[in-house]
Amino acid sequence: MELKRLRQKIDRTDDKIIKLLNERAKLSRLIGQLKNKKGLSVYAPNREKEIYLKLKEHNMGPLSDKSLRAVYREIMSGSLSLEKAIKVSYLGPECTFTHLAAMEKFGSSVVYEPCKGITDVFQEVEKNRCDYGVVPIENSAEGAVNHTLDMFIDSDLKICAEAYLEISHNLLGHTNDLKKVKVVYSNPQVFGQCRIWLETNMPRATLIDTTSTAEAAMIVAKKRNASCIASLMAKDNYGLKLLAGGIEDSSHNVTRFLVIAKAMAAPTRKDKTSVMFSLKDKVGALHDILVPFKNNKINLTKIESRPSKLRAWKYYFFVDLEGHIQDKVVAKTLRDLKKGCTLLKVLGSYPVCE
């Protein structure tokens, strides 16, 4: 009788939750109509972060912050779909880690468009076939994704958000006997992240590069004595067995992803700005270009260089710095920075992912 009484209480609580969720959805629809009239973007990373911060501040338990955030991810995803049918491109095919990152960012109520390459992700957004794109930018073990950096050189798209995904790599196939596995398929970066495990457990296996972990799973689904390194989502989607789990060499293996769009995000209490620049050819140019950051007490969180494809020994520099382009001190720093550059391009300002 006690169990029945408690369940009845849960049912009454659920009725209230459903009513409140639909009231919230109606308000979201009205907001969508106002945004449409003003020509504003439906997805607002600054508002998303504000909601997550409030959840953390007001959550008294017993639900964990992580659980509550997951619930609200889907609530906001449903609300976005009521405001507009959002389409998100990502580095595909289905079940890549970029797909997982996109789903973690946008939830299950938007339309996802898998792309064959990073260039295609950019083009889908540039040509207005998709509203947003999700691309990998760096891994904690293997470093920067150079193709993504190179795309920003010519593209006018902006970074409007970022996402971090803890990566766990899994060896998938059809047989439980690793001795029968002669070939392993996966993305080159993934092989780098699992190098020690592969050398220890499969030293004689042939490693074959694919464009993505999901493509590797698609290939192995049709081969008996082959394996792939991919996500558990790929295991389920392509009917494969788990041969070995958690084979990444580093226990803290995280990949950072960027959300690209036509416009950047509005400022929050904690933001990041990404810029790209090239330097004048003179002695001490790189040293001089860092002085404005020091003088204005701007913290740099990342700096990468890429060779120019137009001229030998000419480089582009990519920098992430703390603050938003609308902050006075950031704007001043970039004005000072521009004096020593042949090119300065703001790639975007967006909320720091926490």
The tens digit of pLDDT for each residue in 99-158 reads 999 999 999 999 999 998 899 999 999 999 999 999 999 988 778 888 899 899 889 999
111 vs 251, more confident: 111
Given the structure tokens 């439980």, which residue do they identify?
176
- CATH value of 266-351 in 3.40.50.10190, 3.30.420.340, 3.30.70.260, 3.10.20.30: 3.30.70.260
Give the domain ranges of the chain: 170-250, 266-351
Which of 46, 45, 36 has its CA nearest to residue 82?
36
42 token code pair: 């439906």
* Amino acid type, 53: L
User: What pTM does this model have?
Assistant: 0.86
Of the pLDDT bands very low, low, confident and very high (cuts 50, 70, 90), residue 311 is low
Helices within the chain (DSSP H only): 2-38, 45-58, 65-83, 97-106, 118-126, 146-154, 188-193, 195-201, 213-220, 232-238, 285-295, 328-338
How many other C-beta atoms can be found within 10 angstroms of the C-beta atom of residue 327? Answer: 16
Q: Could you tell me the pLDDT band of residue 279, with boundaries at 50, 70 and 90? A: confident
CA–CA distance, 121 with 40 (Å, rounded to integer): 22
Contact indicator for 316, 305 with CB cutoff of 8 Å: yes
Structural contact between residues 115 and 96, judged by C-beta atoms closer than 8 angstroms: no
* Sign (positive or negative) of CA dihedral 98, 100, 105, 109: positive
Instruction: Of 291, 313, 312, 306, give the one whose Cα is nearest residue 345.
Output: 306
Residues 296 and 337: their CA atoms lie apart, in Å, by: 11
Distances (CA, A) of 256 to 115, 157, 184, 215, 234: 18, 18, 25, 21, 20
Q: Do domains 170-250 and 266-351 have the same CATH topology?
A: no
Res 195: pLDDT: 92
pLDDT tens string 171-221: 999 987 888 888 999 989 899 889 999 999 999 899 999 988 999 999 999
Residue among 28, 46, 102, 92 nearest 267 (CA): 46
Read off the pLDDT of residues 70-101 as tens digits, 9 standing for 90 and up.
999 999 999 988 888 899 999 988 888 899 99
Whether 160 has a pLDDT exceeding 90, the answer reads yes
What CATH number does domain 170-250 carry, 3.40.50.9100, 3.90.700.10, 3.40.190.10, 3.40.50.2300?
3.40.190.10
